[in-house]
C-alpha cells in the first residue's frame, strides 16, 4: 500500500522533521509557561522533560522494531484485527489534526497580533495553505527535504538572540531550586506540549533509510529540540526580570522587539514573517500524516483526496470560525493532555501488547 | 473542461482574497509617525499629551508639526491626535518619550504607557526621558540651529550613555525595572536652560515610579560603575585637597579616564540587615591635572587620594539613595541570588530593607597612563 | 572508394530505385517538383561508360567538392572498367542508398546523390557544404579566462569541439532523429563509464517521444522534454560553450547536441547549476567562491528587493531606520502613486529598455541606454513622478540580474519578481514569505530528468556544497556530484600541491 522505496527519508531528514514538529509554535510560549510554574527554576525542568522524552522515544522505536510488518498499521491489523487498526489510525489522525490545527491557529493569531491586525483570518489561512498543500502532497521525502531546507536557512535565527546578551542579568537565574524541588516537577508538565510530535515516528519509521540508526536519530532530534529550548529559555530569563517573564504572552517574540540594529529599526517584523517557516514545520508534516492516516482508515490508495478535502475544509471553516487567543490557549491545554495520552501512554501499552503477543505467538507456533 | 472550471474557481477565490486583503496597507506618506511622545500634567492635574510629527515635504521650511491636547489616556486620544494631522497617527516610530516633572511626581503613572506594550506594532525601544520642567517647553522649543527635537534628544541620550553619563532607558527596560522587585527605575533627565536643551544626568524614581532625586553626570557615572554598566572611557574629576589654588582658577583639579572596571559585589546577611561589600578596581589614565605633580614618585599617593575621594562620593550617593528608599544599583538582585531566604521575606518592600542595609565601598584606582606630558 | 558488396535486402517496389536512369530521373523530378534549387547533372562515367546523374541542392552542397572530387574523377579517363565496377571518387563519406525516402533525406541534408544507369542503388556523397558561420566567442556566456570558442550551427562541428576536450573512447554518442519534417539530428553525448544508464535511458525515451514537425532550436527541444513545463524555472542548462559542456559531461551528465542550433542542452542539472560559470574554475578558488556567493545574493536581491521595498513602504514603516525614514518620507511625499504602482512602472520601463537594447543594433542600442539612463535617473525623479529611492531600488535589481550567468534563470527571476511584488503589495512581509515558501515548495518538487532540482540544498548533501555554494580548491573536488548518480564517482586523487623548495 505504501511505497517506501521511492519515498525514503534520510536520518537527517528524519531528525529535522521530528524536531520541527516539536519546536515550531510551541517554543513561543514555553518560557512563560515555565516561569508560571516555577519561576526561573523552570529552566531546570527542561532536562527532566528531555529524559522523559528520550524514554518515550525509545519506547516508540521499540514498538516499531517489534512490529513485524512494513508499517504499524499492518502489524496492528494482523495482530488485533483490521477494525482496531482502523480505529488506531483514526485516533492518530485526530491527534495530528489537533496538532496541525493548533499550529495553524497559533501562527495566524501571531501574524494577526504582530503584523496584520486588520487582515481576515481566513485570508491568512488560505495563504498558508498554498505552500503547505504543495509540500504535503509530496509525501515524506518532500517533507524531509523541506524540513532540512528550513533548518538550513533558519539556523542563523538563534544567533540574533545573542544580541540581547548585552542586557543580560545572569543573576536572575540564581538561586537554583529556590523553592525546592516540587515547583520544578510541576514545571515538567509545561514541557510536555513543546515535546509533542515524537509519535510521528509511527508513520515515518517505515520510510527511514537506515532503520538501525533510528534510536540515535531520535536522541539527536530530541537533543536539538532541548538545546533550542534551553537556549531560548535562558535568554528570556536573563533578559526579563523574574516576575516579568510571565507578563508576555510570547516572550520569544517580545524579546526581539528590544534588539536594535542600525540598519533596521525593528527586527521583529521581518522575523515573525520569517518564523512562518519554522511554524510551518508543525502543520505541514501533521497535515500529511493526518491525511495519510485518514486514507488508511478508508482504505484509499494515497493521501491525495483526504489532503484536498482537509485543505478545503480548513479554508472554508476558517471563513466562519477562527479561535480567539483564549480559545487557542484552551486548544493547547487539551492538546497537552491528549498528547500525553497518545505519546507517552499509548506507545507503552502497545509495546507491552506486542511483546506479549509475540511471546504467545511463538509459544503457540512451537 | 473540468480543469478549466477548477482554474476559474481558483482565480475567483484568489481575486476574492485579494479584494479583501488590503486592509492593513498604510503608505508611508499617509502615516503620521510622531517621533516624540510627551506626557505631562497641568496645574489642575489634567493629563496632557504632546507629539512631534515630521513633515514629509520639501517645500515646507519647518520640518515638524507639533500636536497636543488633553485626554484621559493615550489610545483614547488617538482620534483627537489624528484630527490634527494629514495622516493617521501611528505609534510605530517613537524615538523618545518625554515625561514631565509634574507627572513624575505622581505614583503609578507607568500604567498610562500600557498601550505601548499592548499594541504590538508600537515601539518599545523609545528612550524614556524625564523633563525637569514642563514637557510643553521642550516640544515647542524648535531651535532653528538643531535637528528635529526627537532626533536631537535621542542622539544626546544615546551618545552620553556610551560615556555612562546618563541612561538610555528604553520603555522595555523601564518595564523590566518596574517589574523587578530588586531594583528601582532610573531614566535620563533633561532640562531647558536659556532656550537650550541640556542633559542633566539621570533621574531616579522610586518603586512606584514617583520621582525621588536627580543625579548629575559624575554621580551617574558612579552609579553606572556600581551597576557594572560603565564602559571604559568614562571620565571623572575631583578636587584634590591640599593643593594650592592660584588666582580665579581651581588649580587643584584632577581628571582621569577610567579603564575596564572590575566591580565585585558580595552580599551577606547579618543581624537582621543585609550587607553588601562593593569592591571597585580599575586602571585609570590621567587626563588632566592643573597642579604640578611628579607622577613617577607620587603615583601611589595620588591613587590613594583619588580612591578616597571616589569612595566618599559613592558612600554619599548610597546614603542619599537609602534615605530616599531607592535601589537603582539592583543590589536586591544580588540579595535574591545569594540570600534568597532572607530576601523573599522582604521582597515586596525591598527598598525599605535596603535602606537599612550596610554597604561597604572599597575603591582601588591605579594609574596606568599619564599622557604624553610629564 | 565504394565497396559494392551486400545487397541483401531488395527494396520494395515503390520505394526502391529502378535500374533505368531515365525512369529514376522522372521519379526524382516528380518528387522534387517546383524545387528549382535541385540540380541534376547527367554525364557519362568515363571509367565504366555508364550513364549517370548527379543530384544536389544548390547552396546546401559544396560546389568545389562536387566539381573536384566527384565530377572530375568520374569524367577523367582512367583505365577501363566494366559497368558495375567500383567508381573512382575522392569523397570520404559515401553511403549506398536504395530507397527514395533515404535519398530524399540525404539530398535535403546537403549530400549529393549519384544515380547510375543500370544500378538499383544510389550513392549519397558527403559533399554537404551549407552556409556556415565561423567559430566565434560565445555571445551569451562570454568568459574572461575560458576558451573563446562557441558552438556553431553544425552539430558535427559542435561534437568535434566537445571531443577535443574529452579525447576518450568512453565518450559515446547516440544519434536520434527528431521531427517529421525537420528530421533534425539530435545527438546524445555522454561518458559511458560515468553516466548513469537509467538517466540516459530516460533522456533517450523523452527525445524519442517527441513528435513534432520540426525542432528549430535547442530551447524548443528542452521545452518538449522538460519534467515540468509549467514551471518558471529552467530545468536544463543550455550552454553555447564547448568547455562547459565538456565539464558537465565529465561530471556525469549528458549533453544533447541539436543540429542547426548553437547551444547544447545539459541534463540533469540542479538549481545551482545556473549559478556556475566556467570561469569559476579558471580563476582562483577564493575569488570563485566569493563570486558564487555574490551571485546567490544577486539572485535574492533581484527577486526580492522591489517586493521588500513595497512591503516596507506600504506595510511596515516601523522598520525603517529614523534617518532613512525622513529622507524616504520626503521623496515619497511628492509621488502621486502608491509604492506598488511606482515600482511596477519602473520595473516595466526597465524591462522595456532591456528588451529594446537586445533587439537594436549596437550603435542605436547605446542611445537607448542614454535615453533610459536620463529618463530613469533624472527626469522622472525631478518631475516628482517616482521617488529617487525607487530608482535606486530598480537600478540595483537590474544590476543584480545582470550578474547571474544564465539567461534562462534571469528570465525566471524577472517573472518571480513581479509575482512577489504583487504579493508584497497585498500582504507585506507575510506575502513575501508565502511567495518564498511556495517557491521553495515548488523547487522541492521540481525535478530535472528525474533528479531533485533543489540539490544539494534539498536534499541536503554537504559533500556537494564544495562545488556549488562555494568553490573549494580543486584538489578537494575529488568526487563527482552525487546529484548525477554517476557510476564512477572519483575524478582524481590529487593532494594539495607540495610547497616548493628552493
Which positions 262-321 of B are in contact with A (Cβ < 8 Å)? none
Q: Which CATH architecture has domain B218-374?
A: 2-Layer Sandwich (3.30)
Alpha carbon C370 to chain centroid, angstroms: 32
Q: Is the pTM here over 0.95, yes or no?
A: no
pLDDT at position B168 is 87
In C153-209, alpha helices (H): 155-165, 197-209
Inform me whether the pLDDT recorded for C108 exceeds 80: yes
Q: To the nearest 10°, the Cα dihedral for B307, B312, B313, B317?
A: 140
Q: Structural domains in chain A?
A: 11-365 (1.20.1740.10)
In this prediction, what percent of chain B has a pLDDT beyond 90?
1
Contact criterion met (CB below 8 Å) for C264 and C257: yes
Summary mean pLDDT of chain C: 85
Please name which of B97, B85, B153 lies closest in space to residue B123, comparing C-alpha atoms.
B97
pLDDT at position B83 is 81
The per-residue pLDDT for range C422-468, each reduced to its tens digit, is: 999 888 899 999 999 999 999 998 988 888 888 888 788 888 888 88
* Mean pLDDT for the stretch of residues C363-378: 78
Residue B180, helix vs strand vs coil? coil
Test mutation, C308, C317, C382, C386, chain B, max B CBs within 10 A? C317
Inform me whether the pLDDT recorded for C157 exceeds 50: yes
Residue found by looking up cell 521530528 in the block: A18
Look at B191-195, C287-291, C363-367 and tell me which has the smallest mean pLDDT. Answer: C363-367
Residue C204 confidence class, pLDDT cut points 50, 70, 90: very high
The per-residue pLDDT for range A217-273, each reduced to its tens digit, is: 999 999 999 999 999 999 988 888 888 888 888 888 888 888 888 778 788 888 888
Look at C6-20, C268-282, C318-332 and tell me which has the smallest mean pLDDT. Answer: C6-20
Inform me whether the pLDDT recorded for C338 exceeds 90: no
The per-residue pLDDT for range B224-248, each reduced to its tens digit, is: 888 888 888 888 888 887 777 777 7
Domain locations in chain C?
Answer: 21-125, 155-269, 284-452
Inform me whether the pLDDT recorded for B86 exceeds 90: no
Inform me whether the pLDDT recorded for C307 exceeds 90: yes
Residue found by looking up cell 520595473 in the block: C347
Inform me whether the pLDDT recorded for A3 exceeds 70: no
The alpha-carbon gap from B166 to the nearest alpha carbon of chain C, in Å, equals 22
Lateral strand order in the sheet of B358-369: B235-239, B253-270, B273-289, B358-369
pLDDT at position B258 is 85
The per-residue pLDDT for range B186-226, each reduced to its tens digit, is: 999 998 888 888 888 899 988 888 888 888 888 888 888 88
* Mean pLDDT for the stretch of residues B249-272: 84
Tell me which DSSP letter residue A79 carries. Answer: H
Inform me whether the pLDDT recorded for C47 exceeds 90: no
Cα–Cα dist B266/B335, whole Å: 9
Domain locations in chain B?
Answer: 25-215, 218-374
* Mean pLDDT for the stretch of residues A50-54: 91
Q: Do B28 and C334 touch (CB under 8 A)?
A: no
pLDDT at position A225 is 92
pLDDT at position B20 is 64
pLDDT at position C75 is 82
pLDDT at position C12 is 46
pLDDT at position B21 is 59
pLDDT at position C4 is 41
Which residue in A114, A117, A258 is closest to B125 by CB distance?
A258
The per-residue pLDDT for range A91-119, each reduced to its tens digit, is: 999 999 999 999 999 999 999 888 888 88
Inform me whether the pLDDT recorded for C290 exceeds 90: yes
pLDDT at position C6 is 43
Which residue in B18, B57, B148 is closest to C333 by CB distance?
B57
* Mean pLDDT for the stretch of residues A131-148: 90
* Mean pLDDT for the stretch of residues A286-294: 92
* Mean pLDDT for the stretch of residues B78-89: 80
Q: Do A131 and C440 touch (CB under 8 A)?
A: yes
Inform me whether the pLDDT recorded for B57 exceeds 50: yes
pLDDT at position A5 is 63
Chain B residues with CB-CB distance to A319 below 8 A: none
Residue A279 confidence class, pLDDT cut points 50, 70, 90: very high
Cell of C215: 525542432
Which residues contact residue B128 at a Cβ distance below 8 angstroms, ignoring those fewer than 6 apart?
B96, B97, B99, B169, B170, B171, B174, B187, B188
Inform me whether the pLDDT recorded for B115 exceeds 80: yes
Q: To the nearest 10°, the Cα dihedral for C242, C245, C246, C250?
A: 170
Cα–Cα dist C19/A97, whole Å: 81
Which residue in C427, C429, C452 is closest to A270 by CB distance?
C429
Inform me whether the pLDDT recorded for B1 exceeds 60: no
In b/e form, how buried is each residue of C431-459, taking b as 16+ CB within 10 angstroms? bbbbbbbbbbbbbbbbbbbebbbbbbbbb
Phi, psi of A321 (to 5 degrees): -150, 125
Residues of A engaging C, defined by a Cβ cutoff of 8 Å: 10, 12-13, 111, 115-116, 119, 123-124, 127-128, 130-131, 134-135, 137-138, 142, 144-146, 148-149, 152, 262-267, 269-270, 272-274, 276-277, 280
The per-residue pLDDT for range A173-214, each reduced to its tens digit, is: 878 877 778 888 888 888 888 888 888 888 888 888 888 888
The per-residue pLDDT for range A263-277, each reduced to its tens digit, is: 787 888 888 889 999
pLDDT at position C162 is 92
Q: Do B20 and A127 touch (CB under 8 A)?
A: no
Residue found by looking up cell 534562462 in the block: C408
Summary mean pLDDT of chain B: 84
Residue C248, helix vs strand vs coil? helix
Inform me whether the pLDDT recorded for B6 exceeds 80: no
pLDDT at position A291 is 92
Residue C31, helix vs strand vs coil? helix
Chain B residues with CB-CB distance to A123 below 8 A: 17, 20-21
Contact criterion met (CB below 8 Å) for C305 and C492: no
Inform me whether the pLDDT recorded for C421 exceeds 90: yes
Residue B22 confidence class, pLDDT cut points 50, 70, 90: low
Look at A59-63, B113-117, C391-395 and tell me which has the smallest mean pLDDT. Answer: B113-117
The reply to whether B93 touches chain A by the CB within 8 Å rule is yes
pLDDT at position A105 is 92
SS (H, E, C) C341-394: HHHHHHHHHHHHHHHHHHHCCHHHHHHHHHHHHHHHHHHHHHCCCCCHHHHHHH
Q: Closest residue of C to B96, CA-based?
A: C322
Residue C10 confidence class, pLDDT cut points 50, 70, 90: very low
Which residues contact residue C240 at a Cβ distance below 8 angstroms, ignoring those fewer than 6 apart?
C138, C139, C140, C141, C150, C151, C262, C263, C264
pLDDT at position C14 is 64
Contact criterion met (CB below 8 Å) for A11 and A209: yes
Q: Do A242 and B173 touch (CB under 8 A)?
A: no
Residue C336, helix vs strand vs coil? coil
Q: Do C319 and A264 touch (CB under 8 A)?
A: yes
The reply to whether B13 touches chain A by the CB within 8 Å rule is yes
The per-residue pLDDT for range C118-138, each reduced to its tens digit, is: 888 888 888 877 778 888 888
Amino acid at each position: 500500500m505504501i511505497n517506501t522505496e521511492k519515498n525514503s527519508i534520510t536520518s537527517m531528514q528524519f531528525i529535522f522533521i521530528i524536531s520541527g514538529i516539536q519546536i515550531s509554535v510551541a517554543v513561543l510560549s514555553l518560557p512563560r509557561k515555565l516561569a508560571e510554574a516555577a519561576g526561573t527554576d523552570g529552566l531546570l525542568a527542561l532536562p527532566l522533560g528531555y529524559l522523559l522524552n528520550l524514554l518515550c522515544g525509545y519506547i516508540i522505536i521499540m514498538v516499531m522494531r517489534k512490529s513485524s510488518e512494513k508499517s504499524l498499521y499492518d502489524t496492528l491489523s494482523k495482530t488485533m484485527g483490521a477494525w482496531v487498526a482502523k480505529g488506531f489510525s483514526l485516533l492518530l489522525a485526530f491527534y495530528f489534526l489537533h496538532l496541525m490545527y493548533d499550529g495553524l491557529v497559533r501562527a495566524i493569531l501571531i501574524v494577526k497580533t504582530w503584523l496584520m491586525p486588520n487582515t481576515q483570518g481566513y485570508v491568512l489561512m488560505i495563504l498558508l495553505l498554498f505552500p503547505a498543500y504543495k509540500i504535503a502532497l509530496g509525501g515524506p521525502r518532500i517533507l524531509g527535504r523541506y524540513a532540512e531546507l528550513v533548518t538550513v536557512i533558519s539556523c542563523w535565527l538563534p544567533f540574533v538572540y545573542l544580541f540581547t546578551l548585552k542586557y543580560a542579568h545572569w543573576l536572575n537565574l540564581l538561586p537554583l531550586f529556590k523553592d525546592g524541588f516540587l515547583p520544578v516537577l510541576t514545571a515538567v508538565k509545561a514541557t510536555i506540549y513543546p515535546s509533542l510530535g515524537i509519535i510521528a515516528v509511527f508513520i515515518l519509521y517505515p520510510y527511514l533509510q537506515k532503520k538501525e540508526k533510528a534510536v540515535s536519530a531520535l536522541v539527536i532530534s530530541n537533543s536539538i529540540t532541548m538545546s533550542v529550548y534551553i537556549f531560548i529559555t535562558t535568554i528570556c530569563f536573563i533578559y526579563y526580570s523574574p516576575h516579568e517573564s510571565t507578563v508576555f504572552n510570547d516572550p520569544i517574540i517580545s524579546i526581539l522587539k528590544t534588539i536594535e540594529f542600525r540598519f533596521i529599526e525593528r527586527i521583529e517584523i521581518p522575523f515573525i514573517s520569517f518564523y512562518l517557516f519554522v511554524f510551518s514545520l508543525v502543520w505541514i508534516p501533521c497535515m500529511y500524516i493526518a491525511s495519510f492516516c485518514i486514507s488508511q482508515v478508508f482504505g484509499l490508495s494515497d493521501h491525495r483526496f483526504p489532503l484536498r478535502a482537509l485543505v478545503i475544509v480548513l479554508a472554508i471553516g476558517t471563513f466562519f470560525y477562527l479561535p480567539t487567543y483564549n480559545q487557542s490557549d484552551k486548544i493547547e491545554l487539551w492538546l497537552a493532555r491528549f498528547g500525553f495520552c497518545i505519546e507517552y501512554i499509548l506507545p507503552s501499552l502497545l509495546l507491552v501488547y506486542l511483546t506479549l503477543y509475540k511471546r504467545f505467538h511463538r509459544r503457540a507456533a512451537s | 473542461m473540468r480543469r478549466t472550471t477548477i482554474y476559474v474557481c481558483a482565480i475567483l477565490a484568489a481575486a476574492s482574497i485579494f479584494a479583501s486583503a488590503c486592509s492593513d496597507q498604510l503608505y508611508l506618506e499617509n502615516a503620521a509617525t510622531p517621533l516624540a511622545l510627551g506626557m505631562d500634567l497641568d496645574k489642575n492635574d489634567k493629563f496632557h499629551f504632546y507629539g512631534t510629527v515630521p513633515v514629509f515635504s520639501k517645500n515646507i521650511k519647518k520640518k515638524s508639526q507639533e500636536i497636543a491636547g488633553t485626554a484621559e489616556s493615550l489610545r483614547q486620544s488617538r482620534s483627537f491626535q489624528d484630527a490634527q494631522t494629514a495622516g493617521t497617527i501611528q505609534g510605530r516610530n517613537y524615538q523618545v518619550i518625554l515625561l514631565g516633572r509634574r507627572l513624575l511626581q505622581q505614583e503609578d503613572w507607568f500604567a498610562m504607557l500600557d498601550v505601548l506594550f499592548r499594541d504590538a506594532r508600537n515601539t518599545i525601544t523609545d528612550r524614556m526621558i524625564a523633563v525637569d520642567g514642563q514637557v510643553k517647553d521642550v516640544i515647542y522649543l524648535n531651535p532653528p540651529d538643531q535637528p528635529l527635537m526627537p532626533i536631537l534628544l535621542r542622539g544626546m541620550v544615546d551618545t552620553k550613555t556610551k560615556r555612562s553619563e546618563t541612561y538610555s532607558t528604553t520603555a522595555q527596560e523601564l518595564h523590566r525595572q518596574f517589574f523587578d522587585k530588586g531594583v528601582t527605575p532610573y531614566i535620563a533627565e533633561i532640562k531647558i536652560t536659556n532656550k537650550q536643551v541640556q542633559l542633566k544626568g539621570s533621574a531616579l524614581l522610586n518603586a512606584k515610579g514617583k520621582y525621588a532625586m536627580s543625579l548629575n553626570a559624575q554621580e551617574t557615572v558612579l552609579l553606572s560603575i556600581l551597576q557594572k554598566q560603565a564602559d571604559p572611557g568614562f571620565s571623572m574629576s575631583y578636587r584634590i585637597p591640599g593643593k594650592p589654588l592660584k588666582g580665579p582658577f581651581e588649580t587643584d583639579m584632577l581628571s582621569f579616564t577610567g579603564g575596564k572596571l572590575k566591580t565585585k559585589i558580595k552580599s551577606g546577611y547579618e543581624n537582621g540587615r543585609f550587607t553588601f561589600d562593593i569592591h571597585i578596581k580599575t586602571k585609570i589614565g590621567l587626563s588632566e591635572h592643573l597642579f604640578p605633580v611628579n607622577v613617577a614618585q607620587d603615583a601611589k599617593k595620588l591613587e590613594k587620594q583619588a580612591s578616597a575621594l571616589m569612595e566618599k562620593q559613592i558612600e554619599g550617593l548610597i546614603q542619599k539613595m537609602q534615605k530616599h528608599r531607592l535601589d537603582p544599583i539592583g543590589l536586591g538582585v544580588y540579595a535574591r541570588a545569594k540570600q534568597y531566604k532572607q530576601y523573599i521575606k522582604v521582597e515586596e518592600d525591598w527598598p525599605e530593607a535596603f535602606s537599612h542595609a550596610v554597604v561597604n565601598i572599597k575603591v582601588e584606582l591605579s594609574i596606568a597612563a599619564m599622557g604624553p606630558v610629564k | 572508394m565504394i565497396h559494392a558488396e551486400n545487397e541483401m535486402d531488395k527494396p520494395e517496389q515503390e520505394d526502391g530505385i529502378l535500374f533505368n536512369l531515365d525512369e529514376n530521373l522522372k521519379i526524382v523530378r516528380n518528387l522534387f517538383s517546383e524545387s528549382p534549387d535541385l540540380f541534376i547533372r547527367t554525364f557519362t562515367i568515363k571509367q565504366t561508360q555508364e550513364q549517370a546523374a548527379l543530384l544536389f541542392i544548390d547552396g546546401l552542397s559544396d560546389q568545389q567538392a562536387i566539381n573536384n572530387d566527384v565530377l572530375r574523377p568520374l569524367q577523367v579517363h582512367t583505365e577501363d572498367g566494366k559497368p558495375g565496377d567500383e567508381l573512382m571518387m575522392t569523397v570520404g563519406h559515401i553511403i549506398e542508398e536504395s530507397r527514395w525516402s533515404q535519398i530524399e533525406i540525404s539530398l535535403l541534408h546537403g549530400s549529393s546523390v549519384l544515380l547510375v544507369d543500370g544500378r538499383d542503388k544510389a550513392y549519397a556523397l558527403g559533399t554537404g557544404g551549407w552556409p556556415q558561420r565561423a567559430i566565434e566567442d560565445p555571445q551569451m556566456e562570454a568568459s574572461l579566462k575560458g576558451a573563446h570558442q562557441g558552438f556553431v550551427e553544425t552539430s558535427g562541428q559542435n561534437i568535434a569541439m566537445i571531443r577535443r576536450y574529452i579525447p576518450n573512447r568512453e565518450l559515446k554518442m547516440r544519434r536520434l532523429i527528431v521531427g517529421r519534417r525537420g528530421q533534425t539530428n539530435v545527438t546524445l553525448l555522454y561518458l559511458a563509464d560515468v553516466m548513469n544508464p537509467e538517466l540516459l535511458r530516460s533522456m533517450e525515451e523523452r527525445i524519442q517521444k517527441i513528435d513534432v514537425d520540426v525542432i528549430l532550436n535547442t530551447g524548443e527541444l528542452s521545452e518538449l522534454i522538460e519534467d515540468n513545463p509549467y514551471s518558471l524555472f529552467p530545468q536544463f542548462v543550455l550552454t553555447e560553450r564547448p568547455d562547459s559542456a565538456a565539464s558537465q559531461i565529465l561530471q556525469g551528465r549528458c549533453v544533447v547536441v541539436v543540429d542547426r542550433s548553437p547551444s547544447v542542452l545539459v541534463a540533469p542539472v540542479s538549481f545551482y547549476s545556473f549559478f556556475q560559470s566556467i570561469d569559476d574554475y579558471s580563476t582562483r578558488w577564493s575569488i570563485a567562491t566569493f563570486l558564487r556567493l555574490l551571485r546567490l545574493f544577486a539572485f535574492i536581491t533581484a527577486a526580492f528587493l522591489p517586493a521588500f521595498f513595497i512591503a516596507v513602504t506600504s506595510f511596515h514603516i516601523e522598520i525603517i531606520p529614523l534617518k532613512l525614514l525622513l529622507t524616504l518620507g520626503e521623496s515619497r511625499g511628492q509621488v502621486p502613486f502608491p509604492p506598488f504602482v511606482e515600482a511596477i512602472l519602473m520595473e516595466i520601463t526597465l524591462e522595456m529598455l532591456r528588451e529594446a537594447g537586445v533587439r537594436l543594433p549596437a550603435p542605436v542600442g547605446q542611445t537607448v541606454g542614454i535615453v533610459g539612463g536620463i529618463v530613469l535617473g533624472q527626469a522622472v525623479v525631478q518631475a516628482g513622478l517616482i521617488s529617487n529611492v525607487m530608482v535606486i531600488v530598480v537600478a540595483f535589481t537590474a544590476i543584480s540580474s545582470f550578474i547571474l550567468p544564465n539567461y534562462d534563470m534571469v528570465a525566471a527571476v524577472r517573472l518571480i519578481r513581479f509575482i512577489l511584488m504583487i504579493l508584497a503589495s497585498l500582504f507585506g512581509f507575510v506575502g513575501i514569505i508565502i511567495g518564498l515558501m511556495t517557491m521553495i515548495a515548488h523547487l522541492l518538487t521540481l525535478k530535472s530528468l528525474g533528479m531533485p532540482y533543489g540539490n544539494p540544498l534539498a536534499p541536503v548533501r554537504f559533500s556537494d556544497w564544495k562545488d556549488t555554494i562555494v568553490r573549494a580548491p580543486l584538489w578537494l573536488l575529488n568526487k563527482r556530484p552525487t546529484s548525477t548518480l554517476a557510476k564512477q564517482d572519483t575524478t582524481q586523487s590529487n593532494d594539495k600541491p607540495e610547497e616548493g623548495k628552493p
